[in-house]
Structure 1
Amino acid sequence: MNELHKETSPYLLQHANNPVHWKAWNQESLDLAKETNQMIIVSVGYSACHWCHVMEHETFEDSEAAAVMNKSFINIKVDREERPDIDAVYMKAVQIMTGRGGWPMNVVCLPDGRPVWGGTYFRKEEWMDTLEQLQQLYVANPEKMLDYAEKLHQGINAISFIQQPETVNNFNQDNLEALVEKWKKSFDWEFGGYARAPKFMMPSNYSFLLRYAYQQKDSNLFEFVNLTLTKMAYGGLFDTVDGGFSRYSVDMKWHVPHFEKMLYDNGQLVSLYAEAYKLTRNPLYKEIIEKTLSFISKELTAPNGGFFSALDADSLTTEGHLEEGAFYVWTKEELKTIVGEDFELFGTVFNINDFGHWENGNYVLIQTESLETIARQFNLDSTELHSKKENWEKLLYISREKRKKPRLDDKCLTSWNALMLKGYVDAYKALGTVEYLNIALKNATFIIENLWTPEGNLLHNHKNGKNTINGYLEDYCFVIDAFIALYEVTLDEKWLRDSKQLTDYCFDHFYDSSNGFFAFTSDLDTALITKHYELEDNVIVASNSTMANNLYKLAIYFENSYYETVAQKMLAHILPDIDYPSAFSNWLQAFLNFSDANRELAVCGENALENILLLQKEYLPNIILAGTHRPSELPFLKARFEKGKNLFYLCQNKTCGLPLEDMVSILNSIKNLRNS
């Protein structure tokens, strides 16, 4: 029978009443397949996934389809957010078989777990016919399926295997310039982002490009990044009524989103907009940060300080039907009633016209012009229009709150919590809002108390006081990164010691010295059909590229040459073979860290924290900051504190100049570095 009622995952619980005899992925389920010699259906999705819901309703809730599945297969449902390791392995198989991937993902496997067929969304009849044919083939000609499974397994292993280069090719600034020039050819100069649809936000891409434009004084590239961030902020993709970004836009103009709101997107985008705000002081970017964090606080924050995972794409209509985007869209009549006499102006700001129309008389709010431009068009003061816009959004919010909200995925994932924690820290750096630091510290305490065991390992998930999954590399790398960020704004060395402890645990249980990278799963976990190494940066950056950046910083703080050597070897392996830089932007960040433009700055003295926080408000992507207001045993700061003095040591590659004693001098020195 269906066993998913025993689980805590909101996605699995959504399927607990299906007539399919679903089981969770566990050793008991896998052993049963071998004992009964039945093939396995592995069906992977997540709670906020629209097409996952569609396939559930059309197929998995259907008794006829369930009968086919129950008769001959062991049926296993997997939450890809709880088990990214399983998702990654079988996604490779689907991509080999079909040339594409996505969710829902459905794979049929032999009893030993090796896949023989798979794809994404299937209609009921196609699904049933295929399963019946596969079962007939398995009974009549099992050798043929075994042969195919072996060949496919070899293919999965081949793309999972990290081959060591015979010779190490040097990667230098000229290579990077060539990659960026190639990259520019894919830019959309009208709406920002890439000239294709759907459009994903890819925060790591724009973080790197912003830094590269700044360090190389590339005004053309900076203009593109600014265009992209502005157009993403103008709405559609961004919920101007209540803050927060949806997962991606289905069109070229960032207008109609795939309406689910994911914690990981919003955490990374807050960090990106905070970086951009420090460089530009653009008030639009500040608004985006504040609205997004307000949304996170209201909708995705637990009383214990943890962050929930997502809001669904689908919500109930007034007729009681689940429909994608129902919570977020408006008819013209609704808007006229809510806004009243200002509707003409409102309609100009938010494009209640052909440009802003989605479908079936529904509009998704989107700006195309700045409020300053529109204010001039209507002979208004821009301050007055800003005030009107705020008031409209309050009215819309009050009206929208009367609707049925999208379903909440209330599990807490360690990796995503850490991304959001860092978002709060980066917002604090940029804006100085103390509440953001307090929320970050509360979340860090939540992670330490609930997700870090006395044995030293992190756990991946938390819901209803339960943790059921051992941590993955993504959990460690993002927590390490977030804790380093907390050190940078508190100067509490506890956060660095915690980061180092977690890093050393990664070396003990994830590091593969034969290829120089970290495996995605711990050596304490049951092995899957192949080993997974996460190398390519995607919507979420790769765990290995994040580890390379972490190791760079920790090598400086602790003067640990081994950390530095490992990070350099990782880079030396990855960089020379980069063909499409958008998939390696966080690796390119790490390359810039090791460039001649990078510096380390030690801030010592009774006013160290105050001075550090002033420095944090500046955009200094090539400066690693450390500081102390008392004598410190941290290797990088040891013997640098002098009572009664505020000292600034600007260093490069373990060599420091004479200390400066005032903020103006150190900022001028940093400015001169960029101008040299």
Structure 2
Amino acid sequence: MSRNQLANETSPYLLQHKDNPVHWRAWNASSLAEARSQNKPILLSVGYAACHWCHVMAHESFEDEATAAVINEHFIPIKVDREERPDVDQIYMNALHALGQQGGWPLTMFLTPSAEPFWGGTYFPKQAKWGRPGFIDVVRQIARIHDKEGGKVTSNASALMQVLREASIASRSAEQLTPELLDTAANRLLSVMDPLNGGISGAPKFPQGSLLELLWRAGARTGNDRFREIVLTTLERICSGGIYDHLGGGFARYSVDEHWLAPHFEKMLYDNAQLVYLLSEAYVTTRNDLFRIRIEETIGWLTREMTTPQGAFAASLDADSEGEEGRFYVWDAREIESVLGAVDYELFASAYDVSKSGNWEGKVILNRLRSTALFDQELEDRLAHMRGKLLDAREARPRPDLDDKILADWNGLMISALARAAEVFDRRDWLSKAEEAFHFITESMTRDGRLGHAWRQGRLGTPGLASDYANVIKASLELYRVTQTREYLTTAQAFEEIFYYYQWDKEEGGYFLTASDTDDLIVRPKSAADDAVPNANGIMACNLIELWHLSGNETYRDRADEILETFTGQILKNAFASTSLLNAFDFRINARQLVILADTEAEIFSNVMRQTTSFNLVLLRPGESEELGPTHPASGKTQLEPGKPTAYLCEGETCSLPLTEIEPLLRLLR
């Protein structure tokens, strides 16, 4: 029997804590009302199912009877899954930053009975060590201060609430965004990149998709090869390092070292989505088979391990198994030799950096960082056979836990990536996966036309967040481009209307993270900053620009412009924190429209998107029932000859001469 109130929750993270002696509640109106009625402070603990240090703190403190007794006596303890309630997490993480502390999970915050933060931290050991106080001592001290020194609590809470309110108000600027800012930001970013290993210099190293996209766009815009070279170096090293699972496919969250060797072993859906998309774009330009293989293997992992019975995609795989981080993934050289035999072992060890002493804390993390280039096909086939044997052997190990909740925003990212990969590689099976997941979201995660955020075991959670709408609309537009099925465009437009109604800031501009009828938060967050995923306002600005070009409806353009104007102050203050908005600005001023006129199914431009980047390119295929609007620069243009497809590439108010062959068109696109 559960010892607290979490047993009826659906979040795998909350269910991990249902048997703790801590009397956990979930974040809801009832729990918050209980704190107010009893005038007891709240101990808020935020984490997620795949979080290693969350597990450590749980085992050390939350499973400890003595610690739990102190918590239960003095606090209303509330446990939050940050993936299920990223709005709650964002508010209190901002409060932690305002206290001058570095963020991370578990997030441990102490709140007044009215849920206003007054102090906090991240991981606390059970007993004082590493310069950190012991958690039970912290709990006792905070309880004493709350009861005996209420003035300090009130002062801290008031100051933090002021910061939180100000953080939700966009700092518009008298200055305007300029094309020069894009180049300045890209050059500054280039200067802090690691020329040997890729990524930002130093450790830890995160994939950071929006930053890489900014550099990729700069290369296309300026013709400076250094921008694309650093992106390709980064992707090659990520694809070769231990951050990639060379046996099962898929990328881990980040690397703790500067070489991409030793990962933090959790696998998150959103990282893999962003990398599949970027690798698809990189492949279009380079035809590097390393990128193709990693995409195929990662989608194989997605299919095998992350696809739910509903056809959508699970959130994450844990870093831990058998109580140890990475245990499922690391090897001992003797294990590998026993599986492969002596002859194959020597070949495999040479290719994958295997040694008796190990390459990380005495263990072996498989990697190919010694050379990122592929071997000849015969050798690669032999190595693939060996990897298959090791994968079979690994399957006998206790597996990391799967967090199988379905998040609309992360699924949107992966649907977009699958659609783009399907387009690049002409894979109908990948496109079918994307469409199946999309239909689940629009059918089972939608109520009265409104998206929900999280689904598990037949239960739909809180109303959709800005990230849900932005990424699902992006997925709709990707599917529309690839399939030219009108339903996807109309779905994107319908969600945009609902999103605008419930989450647009009608006073300041931009989108709030939460809907207007969300009633359990102390402030309504709105942000320009990217996190592990691109900011919703940046993604949505791109969506609106594309919708404007596709429909000719200038309302979409005006809303995109207002987003950029709303957050200009934040962008100018810290461009690196808002690269998704810079990418949207690049799209706004440098968008190109490829208009293809054809009245036959077998036409020469059918695979043009497999041979050119999709960034900043809008594909329009007007037919008899969908003519271009009168203000479109290609309006009135026709096919040169009946039955002969004709293309126009338009930028701004002008279009190219009509093109009837693909090579001249590709030269223009490149």
Q: Could you say which TM-score interval applies, normalised by the shorter chain?
A: over 0.9
Q: How far apart are the structure 2 equivalents of 1:430 and 1:16?
A: 45
Residue equivalent to 1:75? 77
Q: Give the conservation status (yes or no) of the 8 Å contact 1:632–1:639.
A: no
1:447 to 431, 441, 448: 441
Q: Any residues of structure 2 matched to 1:546-625 within 5 Å, and which? A: 546-575=539-568, 577-595=571-589, 597-607=590-600, 613-620=606-613, 621-625=615-619
Query: Matches of residues 130-141 of structure 1 in structure 2 within 5 Å?
Result: 130-141=138-149
Say yes or no: does 1:268 pair with 2:264: no
* Shift of residue 641, structure 1, vs aligned partner: 7.2
For 1:650, the equivalent position in structure 2 comes to 649
Match of 2:156 in 1: 148
The Cα of 1:626 is off from its aligned counterpart by 1.7
Query: Where do 1:86-485 residues align within 5 Å?
Result: 86-125=88-127, 126-165=134-173, 167=174, 169-316=175-322, 322-340=323-341, 341-353=343-355, 357-359=359-361, 361-370=362-371, 382-453=376-447, 455-485=448-478
Q: The residue matched to 1:42 in structure 2 has which SS?
A: strand
Displacement, 1:555?
Answer: 0.9
The alignment status of 1:544 with 2:537, answered yes or no, reads yes
Q: Which amino acid aligns with 1:592?
A: D
Pair 1:611–1:203, CA change in 2 (3 A): farther
Which 10-residue stretch deviates more, 660-669 or 245-254? 660-669
SS of the counterpart of 1:269? helix
Which segment drifts farther, 569-578 or 19-28? Answer: 569-578
> Partners of 1:154 and 1:345 in 2: how far apart?
62
CA distance in 2 between partners of 1:257 and 1:396 (Å): 19
CA shift for structure 1 position 601: 1.3
Q: Which residue of 2 aligns with 1:3?
A: 5
1:394-433 Cα deviation digits (max 9, x unpaired):
1111111111111010100100111111111111121111
Correspondence for 1:502: 495
Deviation sequence 1:519-541 (CA, Å, 0-9, x none) = 00000111511221131123200
Partner of 1:22: 24
CA distance in 1, matches of 2:50, 2:513: 24
Alpha-carbon distance in 1 for matches of 2:627, 2:309: 36
Contact 2:622 2:628 (C-alpha < 8 Å) held by counterparts: no
User: Residue type of the partner of 1:517?
Assistant: G
User: Could you say if the C-alpha distance between residues 657 and 223 of structure 1 is closer, same or farther in structure 2, counting changes exceeding 3 Å?
Assistant: closer
How many Å separate the matches in 2 of 1:520 and 1:432? Answer: 36
Comparing 567-576 with 188-197, greater Cα deviation is found at 567-576
* Alpha carbons of structure 1 residues 418 and 32: separation in structure 2 relative to 1, 3 Å: same
Structure 1 residues 254 and 426: CA distance shift in structure 2, 3 A: same
Q: What residue identity is the alignment partner of 1:619?
A: T
1:449: Cα distance to partner?
1.1
- Separation (CA, whole Å) in 1 of partners of 2:53 and 2:237: 27
What secondary structure sits across from 2:321 in the alignment? strand
Per-residue CA deviations over 1:62-91 (Å, capped at 9, x if unaligned) read: 000000011111110000000000000000
Partner of 2:665: 666
| Residues 354, 189 of structure 1: alpha-carbon distance in 2 compared, 3 angstrom cutoff | farther
Cα deviation for residue 225 of structure 1 reads 1.1
1:371–1:386 contact (8 Å) kept in structure 2: no
Equivalent pair of 1:631/1:639 in contact (CA under 8 Å): no
Please state whether the residue corresponding to 1:625 is helix, strand or coil: strand
Contact 2:164–2:523 (Cα < 8 Å) also in 1: yes
Contact 1:371 1:385 in 2 (8 A): no
Per the TM alignment, residue 148 of structure 1 is displaced from its structure 2 partner at its CA by 1.9
Asked whether the equivalents of residues 167 and 526 of structure 2 are also in contact (C-alpha less than 8 Å), the reply is no
CA distance in 1, matches of 2:508, 2:149: 39
1:289–1:147 Cα change, 3 Å: same
> In the alignment, which of 622, 625, 640 is matched to residue 631 of structure 1?
625
Per-residue deviation at 1:178? Answer: 2.2
Deviation at 1:583, TM superposition (A): 2.1
Residue type at the aligned position of 1:7: E
Q: How many residues align?
A: 654
- Structure 2 vs 1, CA of residues 366 and 669 (structure 1 numbering), >3 Å: closer, same or farther? closer
Secondary structure at the aligned position of 1:518 is classed as coil
Task: Give the superposition deviation at 1:164.
Answer: 2.8
Structure 1 residue 579 displacement after superposition: 4.8
User: Is 211-220 or 389-398 further displaced after alignment?
Assistant: 211-220
Residue 632 of structure 1 contacts residue 638 of structure 1 at CA under 8 Å; is this kept in 2?
A: no
Q: CA contact under 8 A between 2:28 and 2:520: conserved in structure 1?
A: no
Segment drifting more, 34-43 vs 655-664:
655-664
Which amino acid letter does the alignment assign opposite residue 273 of structure 2? Answer: G
CA contact (8 A) 1:631 1:641 kept: no
CA gap 1:556/1:7 in 2 versus in 1, 3 angstroms: same
Q: 2 CA distance for matches of 1:355 and 1:474?
A: 45
**Structure 2 counterpart SS, 1:329:** coil
Quick one: which amino acid aligns to residue 366 of structure 1? N
Q: Secondary structure at the match of 1:391?
A: helix
Determine if contact 2:171/2:567 at 8 Å carries over to the other structure.
no
Look up the equivalent residue of 1:278 and give its one-letter code.
V
Match of 2:41 in 1: 39
Q: Pairwise CA RMSD of aligned residues?
A: 2.0
The answer on whether the counterparts of 2:466 and 2:503 sit within 8 Å (CA) in structure 1 is: yes
Distance in 1 (CA, whole Å) between partners of 2:586 and 2:648 is: 21
Q: 1:236-261: per-residue Cα shift (whole Å, max 9, x none)?
A: 00001110000001111101101010
Post-superposition shift, 1:141?
Answer: 2.6
Letter in 2 for 1:394: G
Cα deviation for residue 184 of structure 1 reads 1.8
Which residue type is aligned with residue 38 of structure 2?
T
Contact kept in structure 2, 1:39 and 1:111, CA below 8 Å: yes
Contact 1:204 1:539 in 2 (8 A): no
Q: For residues 226 and 460 of structure 1, what CA distance do their matches in structure 2 show?
A: 34
Query: C-alpha separation between the residues in 2 aligned to 1:247 and 1:312?
Result: 10
Distance 2:244 2:636 in 1: 49
Q: What's the TM-score once normalised by structure 1's chain length?
A: 0.93
Aligned residue in 2 for 1:674 = none
Match of 1:378 in 2: none
Conservation of the 8 A alpha-carbon contact between 1:606 and 1:646: yes
Give the partner amino acid of 2:156.
Y
Distance 1:655 1:189, change over 3 A: closer
Q: Which moved more, 1:53-62 or 1:570-579?
A: 570-579
Contact 2:237/2:372 (8 A) holds in 1: no
Residue 337 of structure 1 aligns to which amino acid in structure 2?
Answer: S
Equivalent-residue separation in structure 2 for 1:146 and 1:53 (angstroms): 32
Contact map agreement 2:101 2:121 (CA 8 A) in 1: no
Q: 2:131 aligns to what?
A: none
Q: Secondary structure at the match of 2:45?
A: strand
1:353 is displaced (CA, Å) by: 3.9
Relative distance call for 1:525 and 1:348 in structure 2 (3 A) is: same
Residue 68 of structure 2: aligned partner:
66
Given that 1:180 and 1:581 are in contact with CA atoms closer than 8 Å, whether structure 2 keeps it comes out as no
User: Any gaps of 5 or more consecutive residues in structure 1?
Assistant: 317-321, 376-381, 672-676
